[in-house]
Amino acid sequence: MATAGEKEFIQFLRDHQMRVTPNRLTVFRALQKSQGPLTVPDLAGRVEESGLNTATLYRIMETLTELQVVHPVLQDHQNVAYELLEPFARHHDHLICRQCGRTIDIYDCRLEEALKAISDDRGFRIDFHQMEVHGLCPDCQRLTPHH
């Protein structure tokens, strides 16, 4: 039985003349269940039983990124993680700890209102934004002496 988001995803693929494959559905479900962005190795661990290999996962993520179903989140200089975009997930931005890599989702209308005000002042219409703010989470601040 397909979930509401899954039905939208299936229709989305069809609307874009893309095949609805079991592999794409498996990846979509794993991303839907995740509490945060997933790297390809994380994703591989979650879909292990489906027999999806890493090369196939990278191809699927590339396709889903091009279709704007997912977007890459840079967790640190090497690690890119993926998460669903609207309408498949609620819009949010991120606080990312440079020490432990923890990603904290921000669902805050104050940020959205500030961005709209700033862009309106400049006559700019925002089509899409994704903000990543890098720093230290509370746990890492306690462990890191101040300079």
Do the bridges between strand 93-97 and strand 132-135 make them parallel or antiparallel, or are there none, so unpaired?
Answer: parallel
**Mean confidence (pLDDT) of the chain:** 89
CA separation for the pair 101, 95 (Å, rounded): 10
Q: Which long-range contacts (CB under 8 A, 24 or more apart) does 6-11 make?
A: 6/32, 8/87, 8/88, 9/69, 9/88
Structure tokens at 140: 């890492």
Whether 101 and 139 map to the same domain: the answer is yes
Indicate whether 2 pLDDT > 70. no
43 phi-psi bin (left φ>0, alpha ψ -120 to 50, beta other): alpha
Q: Give the residue carrying structure tokens 């999806």.
A: 52
Whether 147 and 117 map to the same domain: the answer is yes
What's the mean pLDDT in 27-40? 92
Structure tokens at 60: 């699927």
Write down the pTM of the prediction.
0.76
Q: What integer pLDDT is reported at residue 35 of this predicted model?
A: 85
Q: Give the residue carrying structure tokens 């805050």.
A: 108
Whether 111 and 61 map to the same domain: the answer is no
Give residue 94's pLDDT band: very low, low, confident or very high (50, 70, 90): confident
What is the DSSP-derived secondary structure letter of residue 48?
G
* pLDDT: which is higher, 128 or 139: 139
Residue 38 structural domain: 1-89
What's the mean pLDDT in 92-100? 88
Domain end call among 89, 112, 133: 89
Helix axes 54-66, 22-33, angle to 10 degrees: 80
Domain end call among 68, 89, 110: 89
Q: What is the CATH number of the domain that holds 134?
A: 3.30.1490.190
